[in-house]
Structure 1
């Protein structure tokens, strides 16, 4: 997912001592002191170009404040190095996925994504993550929430942060996920087993929140689009960006960051997100003509750090916009053939597949398809720090 970073919309409770919370089944969850002593079941997985800690909802407190406080202890936040936790000192590696069986007919599991602040004590749920989504199906099989079905297993997933529905298809052998394979994705070394993802917003979620292909914010022409991730598309040339800049150079340009943030703050209310000054959405993506034979060149602000690649759902939003006349990027995109869009990013190219349709009333809609990989890194008990 897609990628995220602090500051974020929601924060943890102020509690720092041992406490109890009601678990998902109504039972009393063990105290923090017990969790510190005995540990909590956790699986660390790489999902796409991100990495995160995966938990069953039943292994965490159901009270959001108690849960968030515990996760900060586990990840080692706030600390720029996250030296006393399992976070990786970067927004792309300070993520949590919480999974449970779904009570919705036709859906196998529910997936809640939480972005853990690195150097700030923040836990955000305003967005989802399409990269960690790649690991949800295998995790559900690993934990026995969904049975493997022969050599290929399909898992239907409800994304609780956004309401989107995803379908994940992946290889299984002897009732377990198969992580070895020949699939390659830019931004991840080596090869792994392919995971096919389909994500759709449903009938109640239009692709363009304002209903317009473009809007004007702070003197800039922008496209506000949400194909699984709220995104603002900007013309790179208006900001002096040609699509060749390394992420570190863009991050170091305070004047550029300030201009982009002004647009982001103006976009929030138009996208139905309200005041986004404390949120990680919408993402801000500068578009430039393709440089490496793809459809478009991107530099994604998430929102203060610049993504070293691009999130799955960010790429899906870009790919959908390129197919809408009048949207930012439509006029500078390379040739689009079929439903696959090669989206260039700082570390390669992401082949995003989308199907874009228009209702009789003019409403644009999209479904995205992507090939990702994921891998189980470790499975065991994680021990939260006793106090923050």
Structure 2
């Protein structure tokens, strides 16, 4: 055995760009023997990503909330499902892994990987991957473009926030309501008055607190730099929302991943982070979201599901800027305009949210994880 192997454990992984995130994908079988089970997995992932360091220099993490993500893929444990996956948000400057939420961009990556790796056989034209997220129990279908029954090497679908195209992946979030709290509006109200500002507290895709931008003195089209300077004044509202949603008690810590926090407002002309002018007529709702205490450079997909779910609720802060519900909704984000479609049944109940993303496999690798306290042999 080499010195490298004596001092570290070797863990196979695949790096996939899904939507506007990068996600390291791990096979459950490759992690299942790690000592300490869940604790061991947490410690191995934190060490692999270099989570102790806020720059993640000594690991595979990218030191941002969109590049410090992992998903563990395992065999389906329910009928009608192809793949189970568990999402982990790895800490940055914090040796923790948060397991309390899902990530739609990583779901995009899992869908592509499932077909490319043969977990789900490709079919001519499009291949449907039926997935279950174990964090929330949520069901997501990924429909992967497979022309001629194969996965393209790169694809030709471009999404805002990414400068290169990828393989087209259509995501269908099925029955997305209440995965954490059991209900769409955990407080029972379409609008809640917080200590400062009005918000709709919604649980769909992920728990989220959506603030009406005007009630907190903002517009909803702030640049990422502007939003960064204003964010410290908004974070206490996130704690208030978590307590109101019964995600935490008054004296309890609040997870960094949930609830999501964002502001929404009416369309206005603005420029993307890349300097492109977006006219008010080109979209329906301005959105700026927070991820792991920092402004998201685009919008996370579970946050997008939450916004679109709130759009179906009369009186919500989202609906007040949209008017009548129904049909696709165009969201103006720092990266550009993204579109999603809430799907309602005959009784007006939200049964799905459909989005279009792209994904690309970047690397297949072996990560050498330093042995340390609690990190045993796989």
1:380 matched to 2:355? The reply is: no
In 1: Cα distance, 2:198 partner to 2:320 partner: 13
Alignment gaps of 5+ in structure 2: 269-279, 374-378
Aligned mate of 2:335, from 338, 347, 355: 347
Structure-to-structure mapping, 1:331-346, within 5 angstroms? 331-333=320-322, 338-346=326-334
Alignment gaps of 5+ in structure 1: 1-32
Q: Note if contact 1:222-1:232 (Cα within 8 Å) is conserved in structure 2.
A: yes
Aligned mate of 1:368, from 353, 358, 361: 353
> Which residue number corresponds to residue 262 of structure 1?
236
Deviation sequence 1:94-133 (CA, Å, 0-9, x none): 0001111112001111110000011111110111101111
Aligned mate of 1:199, from 168, 173, 176: 173
In 2: Cα distance, 1:271 partner to 1:55 partner: 32
In 2: Cα distance, 1:140 partner to 1:384 partner: 25
Structure-to-structure mapping, 1:264-343, within 5 angstroms? 264-274=238-248, 275=252, 277-291=254-268, 292-293=280-281, 294-333=283-322, 338-343=326-331
1:164 matched to 2:138? The reply is: yes
Aligned mate of 1:215, from 192, 210, 224: 192
SS of residue paired to 1:66: helix
1:180 matched to 2:168? The reply is: no
Task: For residue 276 of structure 1, report the CA deviation from its aligned partner.
Answer: 5.1
> Which residue number corresponds to residue 59 of structure 1?
30
SS of residue paired to 2:370: coil
SS of residue paired to 1:80: coil
Stretch moving more, 106-115 or 272-281: 272-281
Structure-to-structure mapping, 1:40-55, within 5 angstroms? 40-55=11-26
Distance 1:179 1:195, change over 3 A: farther
In 1: Cα distance, 2:289 partner to 2:65 partner: 14
SS of residue paired to 1:132: helix
In 2: Cα distance, 1:358 partner to 1:127 partner: 29
Distance 1:247 1:197, change over 3 A: same
> Which residue number corresponds to residue 144 of structure 1?
118
Stretch moving more, 349-358 or 313-322: 349-358
Q: Note if contact 1:315-1:350 (Cα within 8 Å) is conserved in structure 2.
A: no
SS of residue paired to 1:332: helix
Q: TM-score scaled by structure 1?
A: 0.83
The root-mean-square deviation of aligned C-alpha atoms, in Å, is: 2.5
Q: Note if contact 2:123-2:150 (Cα within 8 Å) is conserved in structure 1.
A: no
Q: TM-score scaled by structure 2?
A: 0.85
In 2: Cα distance, 1:174 partner to 1:310 partner: 32
